[in-house]
Amino acid sequence: MSETKKMNIQTVRQTAREKLKGFCRVCPECNGKACVGEVPGMGGMGTGTSFKNNVEALAAYRINLRTLHGVKKPNTQIKLFGQELKTPIFGAPITGNNFNMGGALNEEEWAEAMIQGCLTSGAMGSTGDAPDPAMYKAGLGVVAKAQGLGIPFMKPRELPEVFDYLRLAEEAGVLAVGMDVDAAGLVSIPVSPKTKEDLKTIIDNTSLPFIIKGIMTVEEAEIAVEVGAAAIVVSNHGGRVLDYTPGTAEVLPEIAAAVDGRIPVIVDGGVRTGVDVLKMLALGADAVMIGRPLIIAGYGGGAEGVALAIRRMTNELKQAMVLTGCQTLEDIDMDVFF
C-alpha cells in the first residue's frame, strides 16, 4: 500500500490533536497566538512575542514570481557534515515529552520517529537534552542504532558534565554534536552561559564536529567561527527562553553576511512550508531546522508522519524554486524577493 493511502497530512494532524490534547491545539496556522506563555508546553515565553516574531518576520518577505526560464526539475540536494542529503531540512533537537507534549510518546519513541523519519525522507534529524540525563542518552541510543546518522544536542551544562556527554556521543559514533547555548537561563538544569574560552576548550576536547545553536548576533557568530565551530544555528529557541527577541529572519542576513561562508549557517524559527525554507535560504542560510511541525507529524504518524511532513515541505520548496527560477540551492538569493 502506498504511503498516501496509509497516511496523509489530515489524518496525521487529527491524530496529533488527540495525542497532544492539553499541550498543543494543532492550530491551522502555528503562529504562537493560541499558546502564549504555555511553557512548559508548546508556546512561547511570557507574552509569546519571540515566537510570534519568528513567524511574522518570515511572513513579511514577498517573493517575485518568475516563469520565463528553463528551470523544470530543481535540485534540493545539499552536503553537510560529510553527508549527501536530499533536502536542506534538519529536524530540531526536541526532548521533554512528558512535560511539553503530554507523554503520549516516551523519549525513545519520539527520537525514533524523528531520526528514522528524517533518514527516510533524505533529511537529517537531531536529538536533545533535558533535566534527566536519561533523556539525552535515550536519543543518543537511537542515533547509535541508526549508524550515527543524527545529531545529539546537549544543554550548556557545567564543563565536567559536557565532557562526559561528549564522550558518550563519540562512543555512539555520531556524525556531529551540538549545544543549545540559548538554554543557558533554564532553572531546571545546572546550566550557564559559555565564554569564548569555554567553547574553545570544549571544541578542543572532542573529535566530533561541534555545532553551536542559539546564535542571534553577529558578535556571537564571529566567536563561534573563531573557536572552531563546525556550524551555527541561528535560533532564539523557538521563542521559549526570552521574551521580546527579534525573529530569526530579522537577524539572519547580517549574521550570514558576517560568517561569509566560513562555516555553514543553519536557521530555525517559524519555518512552516517549503516557501519558508526558500525564504530562509535566500536570507543567507545553508539549511533550516524544523521543530513544532515535526512534533505534530511525529505524534500524529511516528516516523512515517515525520517523513511525510519533510517530503511535503521539500516538494513545496521544489515548486517554489521552479516559480522563482532557481535550479539549485546555491541559486536561491535575495533576488527572489520583491
Residue reference for cell 543553519: 266
Cβ(251)–Cβ(216) below 8 Å = yes
* Contact call for residues 224 and 181 (beta carbons, < 8 A): no
Bridge partners (DSSP) of residue 246 are none
**Residue 270 labeled ligand binder:** yes
Which residues are catalytically annotated? Answer: 237
C-alpha span between 335 and 113 (Å, rounded): 37
The C-alpha cell that represents 300 in the structure block: 500524529
- Length of the chain in residues, anyone? 338
- Spatial separation of the C-alpha atoms in residues 277 and 83, rounded to whole Å: 20
∠ CA 234-201-230, rounded to 5°: 35
Report residue 256 as a C-alpha cell: 550570514
CA–CA distance, 136 with 107 (Å, rounded to integer): 9
Beta-carbon contacts of residue 323 (< 8 Å; ≥ 6 apart): 65, 66, 67
Burial 272-296 (b: 16+ CB within 10 A, else e): bebbbbbbbbbbbbbbbbbbbbbbb
| 271 belongs to an annotated ligand binding site | yes
What one-letter code names the amino acid at 278?
Answer: L
188 is known to lie in a ligand binding site: no
Residue 43 counted as an annotated binding residue = no
Instruction: Answer yes or no: is 213 a known binding residue.
Output: yes
Q: Is 13 annotated as a binding residue?
A: no
Residue 213: name the closest of 197, 190, 236 by CA.
Answer: 236
240 is in an annotated binding site: yes
Q: Which residue in this structure is represented by grid cell 511574522?
A: 56
Matching residue, cell 505534530: 296
Identify the helix (H) or strand (E) that includes residue 85: strand 83-85
Q: Backbone dihedral region of 36: left (phi > 0), alpha (psi from -120 to 50 degrees) or beta?
A: beta
DSSP string, 208-237: S-EEEEEE-SHHHHHHHHHTT-SEEEE--G
User: What are the binding residues?
Assistant: 213, 235, 237, 240, 268-272, 291-292
User: What are the binding residues for FMN?
Assistant: 213, 235, 268-272, 291-292
User: What are the binding residues for glyoxylate?
Assistant: 237, 240
